[in-house]
Structure 1
Amino acid sequence: MSDSQFYAPQRQSVTGVLLIFATALYQIIRNFWAVGVYLLIMDPNPKIIFFSGMGLAVLLIGTLGYSILYYLKFQFYVDKEKSSFILEKGVFNSDVVNIPFSKIQQVNFRRNILQRAIGVYSVVIDTAGSNDKEVEIKALSKEKADILAGLLMDLSTQEKEETTESLSEDDLERPKASATEWEYKLDVLTLLKLGLTSNYLRGLSILLAFYFTVRSQLSYSEEFPVEVPYAVITEIFSTIVLILILLVVGMIITVVETFIKYYDLHILKNRAGLQVEMGLRNNTKVNLKSRRVQLLQEVTNPIHQRLNLYQLKVSLASSRDDLIKDQIKIPGLSREVVTKVKDYFYGREFKETNRILPHQILLWRMISISIFPLIAAVIVLFIFMPDVPRFQIGVGAGILITGIAVFQYFYFKTICLSVSEDFLMKSSGIWNRKKHYLEMYKLQSVSVSQPVWHKKRGLVNITFHSAGGDISYPLVYEEEILPVMNYILFRIESTSKPWM
């Protein structure tokens, strides 16, 4: 099948009528479900049932007719003369959407359960500076969807790059063959391990609830009794069983959520870019180009690191109002796959040339912000409830404050801004260890702020702005960061590579 067919008006797959009808039917059910419940519960007379049935039949026939008309009116094509992708739609009011090739950022595929059942794909075209999807073609065969996506991305690239001199080095060195270079599939066992070792807060909260429940049951008197009453033992046993059930249920929920989101995760690297496909209920397929990647975040923790599981979060160019929309989370990757993905995105290793650490004032600020609510709560408790056991509460608060201070100290020691010839990398985290990578030439601006109370010490807060999000770094010496800023601004101005 040739891509020349898209230069003439095209319609969706014929099965798209079924998809349009099912979508409209779902909306009808949402709006009129109360009527159906009324007819089932109230046992109305036959006349009401007859007219309700007639009304339902007319509504269904009208919906089917509307679906057919919508299908016939929905047309799309490529207009080379206008350098645009054109979409025409609408039954009662005609709507024409014109998207210039230069505005096209991504062409992605999505499928829900119904689309899987009828064998069609939804093609979503994202454009620069848009909060919402500009165009979604909901019913194309896989072959036509692949051809259309490839054609639009090629035309978008040609529009942005008029000569080969403006191509990035990665594009020039890219092999001409379209064969698969490497691929990775997340198997069921790895997905299960990912689900079982995720969402620790849910399990921790249940365990804390278990501890305090048992403690309250055993603390019914000031002195621990020699013999615990049978009723208390029964209640404690019931609580233990309930907690175990909650733990198992919580674990099952986490595993199910993980399977629904990331089932059949498949990464394919070829000449077209890096294709990422995942999802059971809502299947998503995204084609990532290295130059469109603005920010890359690598996340792991001690348990996942032991299991050789890493997560990447890719941030693409997006509007400032909706940065989350263009963030793609890819979990369950081995260290080898993470290295391959970073090699494609950046083509070179990160070699640190300079390291910048925050001032110790940041540590004291973190500790103060963390313990202030606790200290305030204890003071209020002592003032308004004088009968509370002050010693026990004081000891507990002291232990908690010490734990918070120790945690913040070790967290502070992990905060680091590393600079290389081409990259910025921010590291942080004790349990969830995060690394943010940002290429210098993709920076849009660098902002520096200095509160009055830090002026004497010469401390500033710095923020690096990109189209995919910001990296903030607080409380560094101005004299230490200025040479780095000057170098970064020089790299931004002296680089002509396209960043979108």
Structure 2
Amino acid sequence: MSDFDFSQPQRQSKTGLVLIFAATVYNFFRAGWVVILAILAGRNSPKLTSLLILGGILLLLLGLGYSIIYYLRFRFHIDEKNREFVVEKGVLSSDVVVIPFNKIQQVKFKRNILQRILNVSSVVVETAGSQGKEVEIKALSQEAADVLADRLMSLSQKVKRTEEDGIETEEAGESFLGTPEWQHKVSLFTLVKLGLTSNYLRGVALIIAFYFTLRQEFRLEDTLPAGVPKEQLLGTGSLIFILFLLFIGMVITVGETVIKYYDLNLKKFSDSLQVEMGLRNNVKVNIKANRIQVMEVVTNPLQKKLDLYKLKLSLASSENELGKSHIRIPGIPPDIVAEIKKYFFKTQVTEKLYFLPNQLYLARRISRGMIPAVVGIGLVFFFREYVSLAYAGILLSVYLVLMTVYNYFYYKSLRLSVSDDFLVKHSGLWIKKEQYLEIYRLQSVSVRQPLWYKNRGVVNLTFHSAGGDLNFYVVKTEEVRPLLNFVLYKIESTTDPWM
């Protein structure tokens, strides 16, 4: 039995006062940092300097007073009689947030560096309302945060089961999570491998563009020492500089990956999957299976060889946040992917009937890829006095060949598979994606047919869910009509709750 009694209004941890004061000081500095720098850079008289110091002290005292009042007036409690979680806050005016238990979707934890130093966590209660994140309690001890989250989720599930079954269930237990059935931790070495194999081509392109921008801005050709052959020095220097920038770019990519996903830990409980990660901002969230709408599995050939896959989970959210509530879990092996699928999906994923895009889709992608080429030709002829036509022609030809080959193989990778329970979309040339959507979670299907599609008998399909859409373009109307009838029948006939 827990020592925490959340039925009575109570405040945050006392260290929360430090967090509130630090946030207040930061907001003061962010609002007036330009003025502060201008004053420090100028020549000020001793009298003015004294006034500035006194003004700064006064602002700090005002910030401290505001922080104390905010801390004292921030109170929260669980009202089981009315089935609500209540938060009271405000300094000059009172603000009361009331969250019904049946609206609570999930409770997650966040910790920045200062919260880690103070050994406290933020508790964020997310709801099914239009605001998404309704309330955040910024300073609770980890033990109190765990108990509060367990209690809220347990009460939420109790109320939802009562509403679905029409029968009052027994009192919610003290612990919602219990003992994990399995867990998986992503090592630091795995995150390094993930960083080295992610966004590689994009990083190279950015680094090369950055280099040539520096070369043009600083006019390297005009600053070479006399008597040094320009071609030899620029050729060697360019290669060394590009390799150096490439190395720095890879280090930055690896660093970003490690900071964002550091200590990534998965724990599977009987009724939820707990995900914790992050070095600078540590986040811990318990994901309920019924909130998952679309699951996306992503990898590339290098990562596949290393057994590195990334999951992107689209969660049910309000209409205002449709498609924005995502959780990314990178660097996991295929056996863990299979375990997560087993938990989230009611039945085993199967693929039976396949649909392929019409060749018109390939023509559309290639025609769109021609637009930069046409613009480039126009610029070349406009500035033909300053540009080598032969050099521009070679670049244009290489671009057209690469663009056509890429779009052809991307087109060949596209397919939509349908079974009794699933829609699965396959796509991607280098970055391979598989998107899974259980049919009973569908809310509607949109069929769009522009005028230039009508004579060719093709349409664009969009499958709508509460966590985002799944699109499949340019398919034959007579081929998808049976699919649409089947999907609409499943939507109308299913009794399973989609969230």
Question: Given that residues 20 and 67 in structure 2 are in contact (C-alpha distance below 8 angstroms), is that contact kept between their aligned partners in structure 1?
Answer: yes
Instruction: Provide the C-alpha distance between the structure 2 equivalents of 1:124 and 1:38, rounded to a whole number of angstroms.
Output: 39
Instruction: Provide the C-alpha distance between the structure 2 equivalents of 1:53 and 1:265, rounded to a whole number of angstroms.
Output: 45
Shift in CA distance, 390/318, structure 1 to aligned 2, threshold 3 Å: same
Residue 95 (structure 1) aligned with residue 95 (structure 2) = yes
Residue 77 (structure 1) aligned with residue 77 (structure 2) = yes
Q: Secondary structure at the match of 2:331?
A: strand
Q: 2:494 — aligned with what? A: 495
Question: Given that residues 166 and 498 in structure 1 are in contact (C-alpha distance below 8 angstroms), is that contact kept between their aligned partners in structure 2?
Answer: no
Instruction: Provide the C-alpha distance between the structure 2 equivalents of 1:386 and 1:42, rounded to a whole number of angstroms.
Output: 50
Q: Secondary structure at the match of 1:179?
A: coil
Q: What does 1:186-265 correspond to in 2, within 5 Å?
A: 186-200=186-200, 201-206=202-207, 230-265=229-264
Question: Given that residues 13 and 140 in structure 1 are in contact (C-alpha distance below 8 angstroms), is that contact kept between their aligned partners in structure 2?
Answer: yes
Instruction: Provide the C-alpha distance between the structure 1 equivalents of 2:250 and 2:107, rounded to a whole number of angstroms.
Output: 36
Q: 1:152 — aligned with what? A: 152
Q: 2:335 — aligned with what? A: 336
Q: 1:172 — aligned with what? A: none
Shift in CA distance, 295/83, structure 1 to aligned 2, threshold 3 Å: same
Instruction: Provide the C-alpha distance between the structure 2 equivalents of 1:39 and 1:278, rounded to a whole number of angstroms.
Output: 41
Shift in CA distance, 259/166, structure 1 to aligned 2, threshold 3 Å: farther
Residue 479 (structure 1) aligned with residue 478 (structure 2) = yes
Q: 2:107 — aligned with what? A: 107
Write the deviation string for residues 132-160 of structure 1: whole angstroms up to 9, x where unpaired: 52100000111111111111112222222
Q: Secondary structure at the match of 1:10?
A: coil
Question: Given that residues 178 and 272 in structure 1 are in contact (C-alpha distance below 8 angstroms), is that contact kept between their aligned partners in structure 2?
Answer: no
Q: What does 1:335-374 correspond to in 2, within 5 Å?
A: 335-374=334-373
Instruction: Provide the C-alpha distance between the structure 1 equivalents of 2:5 and 2:212, rounded to a whole number of angstroms.
Output: 67
Q: What does 1:425-440 correspond to in 2, within 5 Å?
A: 425-440=424-439
Q: What does 1:126-137 correspond to in 2, within 5 Å?
A: 126-137=126-137
Shift in CA distance, 30/384, structure 1 to aligned 2, threshold 3 Å: closer
Q: Secondary structure at the match of 2:351?
A: coil
Note the C-alpha offset of 1:334.
0.8
Note the C-alpha offset of 1:243.
1.2
Instruction: Provide the C-alpha distance between the structure 2 equivalents of 1:373 and 1:254, rounded to a whole number of angstroms.
Output: 29
Write the deviation string for residues 355-391 of structure 1: whole angstroms up to 9, x where unpaired: 1111111111111111233135325634773896545
Q: 2:172 — aligned with what? A: none
Instruction: Provide the C-alpha distance between the structure 1 equivalents of 2:214 and 2:107, rounded to a whole number of angstroms.
Output: 53
Per mean C-alpha deviation after superposition, the further-off stretch among 285-294 and 203-212 is 203-212
Q: 1:289 — aligned with what? A: 288
Instruction: Provide the C-alpha distance between the structure 2 equivalents of 1:341 and 1:141, rounded to a whole number of angstroms.
Output: 30
Question: Given that residues 210 and 243 in structure 1 are in contact (C-alpha distance below 8 angstroms), is that contact kept between their aligned partners in structure 2?
Answer: yes
Note the C-alpha offset of 1:41.
3.6
Instruction: Provide the C-alpha distance between the structure 2 equivalents of 1:386 and 1:59, rounded to a whole number of angstroms.
Output: 62
Q: 1:451 — aligned with what? A: 450
Write the deviation string for residues 97-117 of structure 1: whole angstroms up to 9, x where unpaired: 111122211211101111111
Shift in CA distance, 39/124, structure 1 to aligned 2, threshold 3 Å: same
Per mean C-alpha deviation after superposition, the further-off stretch among 481-490 and 330-339 is 481-490
Instruction: Provide the C-alpha distance between the structure 2 equivalents of 1:38 and 1:209, rounded to a whole number of angstroms.
Output: 31
Shift in CA distance, 28/339, structure 1 to aligned 2, threshold 3 Å: same
Question: Given that residues 150 and 177 in structure 2 are in contact (C-alpha distance below 8 angstroms), is that contact kept between their aligned partners in structure 1?
Answer: no
Identity of aligned residues (%): 47
Per mean C-alpha deviation after superposition, the further-off stretch among 460-469 and 241-250 is 241-250
AA partner of residue 203 (structure 1): V
Per mean C-alpha deviation after superposition, the further-off stretch among 284-293 and 485-494 is 485-494
Note the C-alpha offset of 1:424.
0.5
Note the C-alpha offset of 1:289.
0.6
Instruction: Provide the C-alpha distance between the structure 1 equivalents of 2:231 and 2:383, rounded to a whole number of angstroms.
Output: 33
Instruction: Provide the C-alpha distance between the structure 2 equivalents of 1:281 and 1:244, rounded to a whole number of angstroms.
Output: 29
Structure 2 unmatched ranges of 5 or more: 168-175, 216-220, 222-226
AA partner of residue 17 (structure 2): V
Q: 1:62 — aligned with what? A: 62
Q: TM-score by structure 2 length?
A: 0.89
Q: What does 1:311-330 correspond to in 2, within 5 Å?
A: 311-323=310-322, 325-330=324-329
Instruction: Provide the C-alpha distance between the structure 2 equivalents of 1:158 and 1:101, rounded to a whole number of angstroms.
Output: 9
Shift in CA distance, 383/76, structure 1 to aligned 2, threshold 3 Å: closer
Question: Given that residues 191 and 258 in structure 1 are in contact (C-alpha distance below 8 angstroms), is that contact kept between their aligned partners in structure 2?
Answer: yes
Shift in CA distance, 288/230, structure 1 to aligned 2, threshold 3 Å: same
Write the deviation string for residues 278-308 of structure 1: whole angstroms up to 9, x where unpaired: 1111111111011100111110001111111
Shift in CA distance, 14/488, structure 1 to aligned 2, threshold 3 Å: same
Write the deviation string for residues 204-244 of structure 1: whole angstroms up to 9, x where unpaired: 45458889999xxxxx9xxxxxxx97343122222222112
Question: Given that residues 300 and 431 in structure 2 are in contact (C-alpha distance below 8 angstroms), is that contact kept between their aligned partners in structure 1?
Answer: yes
Instruction: Provide the C-alpha distance between the structure 1 equivalents of 2:349 and 2:185, rounded to a whole number of angstroms.
Output: 26
Q: Secondary structure at the match of 1:110?
A: strand
Write the deviation string for residues 229-284 of structure 1: whole angstroms up to 9, x where unpaired: 73431222222221122111111111111111111111111124100011111111
Q: TM-score by structure 1 length?
A: 0.89
Question: Given that residues 298 and 310 in structure 1 are in contact (C-alpha distance below 8 angstroms), is that contact kept between their aligned partners in structure 2?
Answer: yes
Question: Given that residues 166 and 496 in structure 1 are in contact (C-alpha distance below 8 angstroms), is that contact kept between their aligned partners in structure 2?
Answer: no
Cα RMSD (Å):
2.7
Instruction: Provide the C-alpha distance between the structure 1 equivalents of 2:307 and 2:316, rounded to a whole number of angstroms.
Output: 30
Instruction: Provide the C-alpha distance between the structure 1 equivalents of 2:205 and 2:53, rounded to a whole number of angstroms.
Output: 53
Residue 462 (structure 1) aligned with residue 443 (structure 2) = no
Q: 1:401 — aligned with what? A: 400
AA partner of residue 302 (structure 1): P
Q: Secondary structure at the match of 2:162?
A: coil
Per mean C-alpha deviation after superposition, the further-off stretch among 469-478 and 123-132 is 123-132
Write the deviation string for residues 389-435 of structure 1: whole angstroms up to 9, x where unpaired: 54554454334322211211111011100111111011100000111
AA partner of residue 26 (structure 2): Y
Q: Secondary structure at the match of 1:44?
A: coil
AA partner of residue 188 (structure 2): V
AA partner of residue 77 (structure 1): H
Question: Given that residues 197 and 304 in structure 1 are in contact (C-alpha distance below 8 angstroms), is that contact kept between their aligned partners in structure 2?
Answer: yes
AA partner of residue 267 (structure 2): L
Q: 2:48 — aligned with what? A: 48
Write the deviation string for residues 17-53 of structure 1: whole angstroms up to 9, x where unpaired: 1111111111122233345435544353333333333
